[in-house]
A = this chain, B = another copy of it.
């Protein structure tokens, strides 16, 4: 049985690959595919492929009758999709559909874990968002993910794929460099100061964010792949658990864990474009369904910072 991770060169893709290799899950090969070359992994089961999957026919080279599980993490992230409308719809919707079509025709019923996002929400939201709150996205990224969710659900209902749609909270702390996600600053205002660098926060300190740590996200993505389809009931979309933290609370944590000088490296410079996207996302969701399904939630935010520091020898 082959497992595929799209976006396999990305931060979550690499972490997920490692978790799969360390897990008790039985498989023959794990293929990491990305538009940039995935870094080699020292395990005979792993193959790496550099490919632009959105190119005509590319997914048909990838998915075979042996493919039993796909983690579809590849995406054009939020600010990027807002700037490049065509690329966003092409990758975030069309590629998802091409992958589902390839499953349908080459490996029907293949498990298909789709990384969606709380960016599907927007507009007037109830105080606490639940799995049955309507999605009214205020970004192209959110619209594309929401449309992708509908595809995965319909392909699953038809038995063409065995889909699991996970709405990811904002992941914090991501290592590495800033990216084109509107939420890039959420990790930046912790990661940079800890490493002695300045960071700019483009939103109000009062903004409530909905977060998950990398360890928890990776564990929950893996969990989604191993759950019985029946655990999802009759709708394959689930809001993964998160915790609500304001920017000010994050900075209080930063000061507690890494000292006052770290906190003082963060300055505020309002960016209307980023704020419009990020403040349209909910900051409070009801975790109950996800927890009942066996997904895990993080503890307080201080632990997000210590997790990052310990994993990066800081």
Contact = CB atoms under 8 A, between A and B. Distances in A.
Interface of A: 85, 89, 97, 123-124, 131-138, 140, 143, 146-147, 150-151, 153-154, 157-158, 234-235, 237
Q: How many copies does the complex hold?
A: 2
A254 to B, nearest CB: 34
B153 A143 contact: yes
A158 B135 contact: no
A123 to B, nearest CB: 6
Contacts of A136: 132, 153, 234-235, 237
Contact of A150 (B124, B147, B153, B234): B147
A136 to B, nearest CB: 5
A241 to B, nearest CB: 18
Contact of A137 (B138, B154, B158): B154
B150 A235 contact: no
Given A134-B132, A235-B123, A151 B143 contact: yes
Contacts of A97: 89
A157 B134 CA distance: 18
A108 B232 CA distance: 42
B140 A147 contact: no
B123 A137 contact: no
A157 B139 CA distance: 8
Given A136-B234, A143-B154, A147-B151, 11 more contacts: A124-B234, A131-B134, A132-B133, A132-B134, A132-B136, A133-B134, A134-B134, A136-B153, A137-B150, A138-B234, A140-B158
Nearest to A85: B158
Contacts of A154: 137, 140, 143
Contacts of A234: 123-124, 136, 138
Contacts of A133: 132, 134
A81 to B, nearest CB: 10
Given A123-B234, A132-B133, A234-B123, A138 B150 contact: no
Nearest to A280: B234
